[in-house]
Chain A
Amino acid sequence: MSDTVSTPRSFQEIILRLQTYWATKGCAILQPYDMEVGAGTFHPATTLRSLGDQPWAAAYVQPSRRPTDGRYGENPNRLQHYYQYQVLIKPSPPDLQDLYLGSLEAIGVDMALHDIRFVEDDWESPTLGAWGLGWEVWCDGMEVSQFTYFQQVGGHDCHPVSGELTYGLERLAMYILGVDHVMDMPFNDPQTPIPLTYGDIFKQTEEEYARWNFDVANTDVLLRQFEEAEAECEKILSQDHVDPKTGKRIVMAHPAYDQCIKASHMFNLLDARGVISVTERQAYIGRVRALAKQCADAFVQTRAGGWTPEGAA
């Protein structure tokens, strides 16, 4: 089958092929979450939906921001804003490795010529109170994906276990397209009347954000926003489960989690501004983790999180 798959011509074609592939494998193709996050894992479709006993299968592109990785668009491999492709299936199917390898073939990796390896990599997110076991997947010595079986999220044991796949899209695409600098990568089809490279779209924003992230962002404002988000998250979660207006049971796990995401991003920005010392760092991470845990606690009190009136009774 490998020789029937053509090599993609652009970054977006790789994304489209992944979308099609995972759609045919039964995933709901979701859209990116509409907030700033550091990784695809932060999308509630992964963090919250990996909790509880309800089956789940979703795939999506998630724009991700890591302010400290900004290099003004000059480093061939580093960006403060980049894309992850994320797949989460619960319970993890027995053939998840094969499904994953199928996705590589679908985007033009010829299994007969490349050396694919599953190399031990235990995943842990101190900010989400989450960990899992799995691998980094290597293609000819390059890490192209992260493959994890979630064991715990937000302090809760995962039952059943979700299988999570995370593709670093730019790096993977650069390899498949044979591009050495991310900014030179064709974003749309190079044969098109208006061909656009990754640099045409993102070189300017990388510069702008690098300057803002490193030197301009108002740290007093960021710090205040961190604390406001933290307070709001806790306030939301302290509300009675029964809405006094409608009389319905409405646990507001998602609005609270939005505030947790916001706090996490504020922390990342503060970190990039270099105003967080080594000792303070741990304290901030602990505060975000405490929020994530409370959101997880709330989510398992919702129907999507597996709560039932019968179970509660």
Chain B
Amino acid sequence: MPDLLIELFSEEIPARMQKRAGEDLQKRITDGLVEAGLTYASAAAFTTPRRLCLTVEGVVGESPTLREERKGPRADAPEKAIEGFLRGAGLTRDQVVTRPTPKGNVLFAVIEKPGRPAADIIAEVLAQTVRDFPWPKSMRWGSGALKWVRPLQSILCILADEAGAQVVPGDVDGIAFGDTTEGHRFMAPGRFSVTSFEDYEAKLKRSFVVLDSQARAETIWHDATNAAFASGLGVVEDAGLLAEVAGLVEWPVVLMGEIGSDFLDLPAEVLQTSMKEHQKFFSVRNPKSGQIERFVTVANRETADNGATILAGNEKVLSARLADAKFFWENDLRVAKSDMSIWTQALENVTFHNRLGSQADRIGRIAALARDLAPVVGADADMAEEAARLAKADLSSEMVYEFPELQGLMGRYYIEASGRDAAIAAAAEDHYSPLGPSDKVPTAPVSVAVALADKLDTLTGFWAIDEKPTGSKDPFALRRAALGVIRLILDNGLTLPLGGTFGPHAWSDNLLAFFHDRLKVYLRDQGIRHDVIDACIAMEGNDDLTLLVNRARALSATLATDDGENLIQGFKRANNILSQAEAADGVEYSFGADRKYAETDEERALFDALDQADARIVPAMDAQDFATAMAAMAALRGPIDAFFEAVQINTDAQTVRRNRLNLLSRIRTLCLSVADLSKIDG
């Protein structure tokens, strides 16, 4: 069975789009083949900056013949009915057959769809794939109407077997399918023909093109780390940059260069960001000093001077870039050391949100809130307020204007340079955290105060103007902010009831419910069931997340035990009987179970057990020691089971019945004092 080879050769494809494009090509072509009845053995896609390639092995030679039978009217039906049937089937009277059936002689049309050669199907599927290709952004060129990511220059499409290779006849908007391609733009210009995937890959290699992006990435990483190692240095890992660079070259050549000594005292993050963002350089670090001392750039060709000209050029460009960065750094340091209020004042002219005021307005609110929160988190109130006032000052700095991703970090450097307390500087860097479920959570009190204030102001503010997340839309990242608050509170064990007032914006039950939803998602990932959380949310003090989660964890642990699981059954049984009796009798059995009316040992044992449990649970609950309380509750499982086993609740003796119902009520009251067990599933 033949193998199919496709190459879509174009002008340079953006690096970030290549991987996905290879996957889309493979999916669309193979889906199209299978849909048309062509099976295949295996397929693989490859990408370089100038080509998408797909190899499909073992494609069947043609699609199977399909036979369809259609039942028509009886042979003696009116002429009109028969005519209609023939028209629908596209046949004449002598092309249909008559067969006896229990309903008499009936006409049958047998329609055969003959199989089609693979080449015809491939040509159609390929043309369709090219026309509908899902590029994130595509364009027209010249006078044509075809759209591609950049001008599409040639299409290679061959079917190859032992007998040789055949071009699949076809075209897309005037680009005829052929069997030729090009190698490296500069090192091996000119077209050549290929006869199979192996031939294609080998000839490309001879023409200075490594087809497999993974292989290019491995070469780059291997050569870069070797070059650094030889100088006693190490390359700073960056998987995203590696993938991008592998998508910018067909023939990677690693070159290691020097960073001008004037720039080595810039913060490492500034060097790294500038080199990566502007030049796509890897940073090379001295493991002894931790300093970034050199860079690695990846050229797309070999040269007679072993890259000397290329490297000199890159070093020159880097010097110009770093001269800018140094200029920003020095200007910023001057401001930081003299008067940072220039920066905070500038934020008065920066709109945060047109209904929530300027950045300066927002910072004022955060500062007041950080001050209020300070005692809760164990921070000094003055320090928390000052930290909040300065935490976003770096947004006005030249460095952050140039590199927004350095916000916070530059704030820390500049506040340190201003001679302020290290805790205030740290808060500038940390207050954006945590940014996700696995990002580290600040623990230094001042940082925690500012981080909480920042997020709570954002949440209450957007809630106040009714800009809540809906469905997949969360433009202000409010879910992330809520998760941040949750993690800050839990990881630091803070007692911070959210129902309190935070700044000028009112708290709302709706916002608390939003927090509870986020909490469920967060705890679900930690293996705590949603019904367990619901059982705890139903309790008093559910705006104290530390309390809520302690309760949920204890309940979850209890339910994981045999006693706990069975206790739930006992509780539910008691609750059901009680609810039914209460509904029937129109009273609430809530008080007055008396030991003297107990008739059986099991009843008396339950009285004893409840007394003991009460004695343990009440002080434990007062101390918020949920584990002890729930262990005491779970210990009731035996007496409750024995009670139900031996005792009939509904007896004719009304005093005894009432007493037993009141006893069940004690079970209910006791259990519900720990968590709302009625919310537990099963």
Contact = CB atoms under 8 A, between A and B. Distances in A.
B309 A120 contact: no
Given A91-B143, A92-B142, A135 B304 contact: no
A161 B186 contact: no
B499 to A, nearest CB: 37
Contacts of B249: 117
Interface stretch (A138-146, A234-242, A246-254, A288-296): A138-146
A117 B317 contact: no
B396 to A, nearest CB: 12
Contacts of A218: none
A149 B299 contact: no
B351 A133 contact: no
B142 A161 contact: yes
B520 interface: no
Contacts of B297: 141
B320 A76 contact: yes
Contacts of B137: 122, 133
A163 B150 CA distance: 12
B248 A119 contact: yes
A141 B314 contact: yes
Contacts, number: 98
A303 interface: no
B313 A114 contact: yes
Contacts of A114: 303, 309-310, 313
B139 A141 contact: no
A278 B350 CA distance: 7
Nearest to B278: A141
Nearest to B257: A141
Contacts of A91: 141-143
Contacts of B304: 112-113
B320 A140 contact: no
Contacts of B351: 278-279
Contacts of B14: 120
A118 B303 contact: no
Interface string A279-301: 10000000000000000000000
Interface string B311-329: 0111011101001000000
A135 B186 contact: no
Contacts of A160: 142-143
Contacts of A278: 349-351
A264 B57 CA distance: 59
Nearest to A148: B139
B317 A141 contact: yes
Contact of A92 (B138, B141, B300): B141
B11 A161 contact: no
Contacts of B305: 113
B248 A113 contact: no
Contact of B12 (A122, A132, A135, A158): A135
A243 interface: no
Interface in B237-275: 248-249
A192 interface: no
B301 interface: yes
Contacts of B316: 142, 175, 180
A142 B92 CA distance: 73
A132 B140 CA distance: 10
B309 A113 contact: yes
A277 interface: yes
Nearest to A134: B150
B99 interface: no
A159 B14 CA distance: 24
Interface string A154-182: 00001111010000000000010000100
A120 B350 CA distance: 31
A161 B141 contact: yes
Contacts of B312: 140
Nearest to B142: A91
Interface in B139-170: 139-143, 149-151, 153
Contact of B151 (A116, A141, A149): A149
A120 B16 contact: yes
Given A140-B314, A142-B313, A161-B141, A115 B300 contact: yes
B46 to A, nearest CB: 20
Residue among A92, A141, A180 with the most chain B CB within 10 A?
A141
Contacts of B139: 132-133, 149, 151, 161
A116 to B, nearest CB: 7
Residue among B14, B139, B310 with the most chain A CB within 10 A?
B139
B275 to A, nearest CB: 10
B317 to A, nearest CB: 4
Nearest to A95: B153
Contacts of A132: 139
A203 to B, nearest CB: 19
B15 interface: yes
A97 interface: yes
Interface string A57-93: 0000000000000000000110000000000000111
A304 interface: no
B345 interface: no
A309 interface: no
B193 interface: no
A277 B358 CA distance: 13
A193 interface: no
A311 interface: no
Interface of B: 11-12, 14-16, 49, 137-143, 149-151, 153, 186, 248-249, 279, 297, 299-301, 303-305, 309-310, 312-314, 316-318, 320, 323, 349-351
Given A115-B301, A149-B139, 5 more contacts: A94-B153, A117-B248, A118-B49, A139-B313, A278-B350
Q: Which 3 A-B pairs have the closest CB atoms?
A: A140-B313, A120-B14, A118-B12
26 contacts: A76-B320, A91-B141, A92-B151, A93-B142, A94-B142, A112-B186, A113-B303, A114-B309, A115-B301, A117-B249, A117-B300, A122-B137, A133-B150, A135-B12, A140-B317, A141-B279, A141-B297, A141-B314, A141-B318, A142-B317, A149-B140, A149-B150, A151-B139, A159-B140, A161-B141, A175-B313
